[in-house]
Amino acid sequence: MSKIKFDQLNYLNILISQYKELGLTENELIVLLLIDLYDKENPSLITGELLQGKMNLPSKEIDDIIVSLLEKKFVSYEMKDSLMVTSPKPMKEKVLNYFVNNIINSKSEEEQKVKDDEFQEVLKVLQDRLGRVLTPLEIDKVSSWFDDDIDKDLIIKVIDSLMAKRGKISSLNVIDKALVKEISHQDVLDEGFTSVDSTSKKNIKDALEIASYDWVKKDE
């Protein structure tokens, strides 16, 4: 995953919408937003007295909230232009980590589940069309199609097209070649050229044919 920068995130939106998940109370959220505002406009050492005019809370209670934010590592003290200021940088780091761990990774897990379901669907279609269980090498080959981001519907379309033309499919190598041809054809239509090279697939031809060969029947 590429690095994510804060200027690419609306971290305040995430903070406000997910503050409970981040372990904040409503009052802590308000104080944190005010600290962030001061940091942008006039970095200062934030105290309850300073924020009292902006909140309906006594100064002592606001001070307790600031201490809580320090303990929870949402804010810190740092030197800026020879002055001690209250910094919201730790909060931004927490929001970034939350975004990566709970939003991006969650999306990746959902996408992987869809991919796994499509993989199983293609395996089932192949086994139905071939009338047999696939060999480990053949399953690995199907997996490589998905690693190459070949669309599930295209794979099934090519399988059914071959079945309609041939009546049967002798090996997955036949499907592999047909996929290369179909993708190359689509590339030419879309881009005017193709970068797909079928020669890179020759090294698996013999292995596929060996894996698909009925050695038991031959020995008999």
| Angle, CA of 173, 176 and 182, to the nearest 5° | 145
Task: Say if residue 154 is in the same domain as residue 208.
Answer: yes
- The answer to whether position 122 is within a domain reads no
Question: Which residues touch 75 (CB under 8 Å, ≥6 apart)?
Answer: 32, 35, 46, 66, 69, 86, 87, 88, 90, 91
**Does one domain contain both 13 and 59?**
yes
Residue 101 lies in a domain: no
Angstrom distances, CA of residue 63 to CA of 17, 39, 66, 91, 167 = 24, 17, 5, 18, 79
220 band by pLDDT with thresholds 50, 70 and 90: very low
With contact defined as beta carbons under 8 Å apart, do 54 and 38 qualify? no
Specify whether 70 is located in the same domain as 143: no
Looking at 76, 96, 116, the residue that finishes a domain is 96
* Domain final residue pick, 78, 96, 114: 96
Chain segment 140-192, per-residue pLDDT in tens: 888 888 888 888 899 999 999 988 988 888 888 888 888 888 887 664 455 54
15 and 68 inside one domain: yes
Give the model's pLDDT for residue 81.
86
Domain match, 144 and 82 both: no
Given a cut of 60, whether residue 17 has pLDDT beyond it is yes
- Tokens 């002055």 identify what position? 83
Q: How many domains does the chain have?
A: 2
Q: Domain span at residue 192?
A: 134-219
User: What is the percent of the chain where pLDDT is above 70?
Assistant: 76
For the chain, strand residue ranges (E) read 76-80, 83-87
Indicate the SS3 state at residue 23: coil
Q: Are residues 75 and 142 in the same domain?
A: no
